[in-house]
Structure 1
Amino acid sequence: MKTIITLFTIFLISLQCSRFQFGSNQTKDETAGAVVTFLQGNISITSQGKENKAKIGDVLRPGDRIITKLGRVDLQTYRGEVIRVKDNSDILFRDIAGETKTNTDIHMLAGNLLVKSVKLKSGQNLSVTSPTMVAGVRGTVFSFELDKGSVPKVKVYEGAVSVAFKTSPKLVEINEGLSVENYNRLVKTLEENEVVLEPGETLEVNPNLNELVYLINAKVSANALTNEQLTGFLDLDNGLSKSQTVISPQEKAETETLVSITSETIKKQIERQNANPSEISKVDTIEKEHEVKRAEALNQIAKDAEKAGLDNEEEIHKHYSILETIHKSNGEVLSGAVVAQLGDIFIVHSTKGVFQLSVDDIEYVEYRNFKVNTKAKK
């Protein structure tokens, strides 16, 4: 499987160069980077072969990799994109936009991303790829999820995302057993399965199409892809499709917590790291700005919850599709739903009202037979 993934990664790089013009600007751009603006838990960054624990103010460069375990991290690029890498993710930043570099290319090996793009100009690109897929966006908010052994999941909250599979034109040249006619049919099948997702739509992937992509790359490695092996895949009509889905209040709230700080602060941090990479990051401004923006977002989420006017369990359950019991540290018990959580602050919509509670205010939260501890009991 590792060999297959590696091979398809090579294909995808070739694809992106032709489709999205990735790597078209070979001049080094010292401003190309993304700054860690917020994090929780255990996050590691690997840069130039060295792995370090992530901290606020760190600057990621093209080629750097982030691995999250029980934690998440928010990044903001020089161009202004905000990227949240969630728990249990393994992400490679193949390219990051800067002052002259036009592309941000994020490759997901596993995990879950929430991305908020800026409005891109002509020639600028933002893409998220997996070992079998490429998603290209322009000014949007979307999630991209990939569990090991499963097909990618994409959901759009704002704007639009184009999702497609592609193959390399070198496939015919290095495989004598594959006819030009069958190759052309294969490419046509894949290209016609490109879909554009809009707000409230999610991606549906035919597992056979994923299998096809892996098969192609495995067989290309052995120079052994034959017409017979392609027979079952050439007439796929339904490789990629889309379906309408509900954007839950919790999902909407999370997109609103994906806040950005001033571009001047991001640019100064990148410049500071360029001037003296070994210098301890000056993060006070980053922390303060992000804290203010977080508070504004959480306050708005709380106000929106209050406007809903829900004050009984049935209404809350219907609106949020869950019903939880929040056990506070002072012994008080609230019945309702956790609407949003960022950092140490929870927004709770209960039958007694809407509250902003810190992690120290909450002993644990129960959902049916599940219990989530927010801190170790004393």
Structure 2
Amino acid sequence: MDLTFSEEDDRFREEAREWLADNLSGDFAELKGLGGSGREHEAFAERLEWNRHLAESGWTCLGWPTEHGGRGLSLSQQMIFHEEYARADAPARVNHLGEELLGPTLIAWGTDEQRARFLPPITAVKELWCQGYSEPGAGSDLAAVRTRARLAGDTWIIDGQKVWTSLAHHSDWCFVVARTDPTTTRHAGLSYLLVPMDQPGVTVRPIVQLTGTSEFNEVFFDGAVTDTTMIVGAPGEGWPVAMGTLGFERGVSTVGQQVGFARELETVRNRARENGTIDDPIIADRLAQAQVGLEVLRVHALRTLSAYESGSMGPEASVAKLLWARWHRDLGELAMDVLGGSALTTGPSYELDDLQTLFLFSRADTIYGGSDEIQRNIISERVLGMPREPRP
């Protein structure tokens, strides 16, 4: 794993850094630090405008091939942009699911017609997407989905429920895993459908979280429809497509995530200096351990991306998810211990500060995106060769 950058990479870093410095000004300067996990409600319309400004300036879909509207940049340059974006404290983008998940999935598995229809609006941030995977009773165990779709002429008719659907209340489309062959179970008979959200058969209900915000939603499909051409891959063969999407989920943006984590750790450390808890040897030791853990996260993220670039992505992604989710959850707990009794109080309207939000939202880190239990099963079965977990 080569951790050095070329002269061309260094020039690109300077280009990205200068552009961000020049453009995060005026009204956009007020968006710095806004958005992100647990805070997607912050200035959403303004961040959408910023995301479209990025698109107009050629700073979206950096790794997509040029023939599909991207810039075809190397993996190292994509990593550099995500690092510099995070270091500039630029606002969280609203187009992550389209740009980082659905777009690459269509490039890999979609038809020419699907690419022509959907990739340009994703690149320009004109259509937003959400992910219809998890269901009640089928969260980490995605193969247990009960949402069904049946053919009626030239239309798929969809019935079922999805849950924990991020940003569904802002989305124009949803990529949905549904069972299209009722005679099958588990991985067989599932299909990957592209479903418009603005129709009578789709109901979105925001879920109020511990943070008091609602970026997650439950989505009900009651006779929702989509055209027969809106299936990615063959009918009943959507499992490899769905797994491919999850592989893209753990791509280059994780490097920028590490920069955000470093900023949060520094906030906790500064608060410990301010209130004197840093003089507690146990707190000081936990802060040091958090710093060491952060360095481990970065090195493993780079290792995972190296495997991704070589086409040999395997258990590294599961290990990475375990590492960062537990590290981030532990940082939230450390933040509460640094705050002490003040961590238990809020404003009269349940106003939370950054560290309280960090603690509450990070409780979900070990669950969403594949729970710790599922990641351990993958590692134990596919890496260590242990027996498969018994199923009922």
Q: Which has the higher helix share?
A: 2
Bigger RCO (CA 8 Å, 6+ sep):
2
Choose between structure 1 and 2: higher strand proportion: 1
Rg (Cα) greater in structure: 1
TM-score by length of 2: 0.25
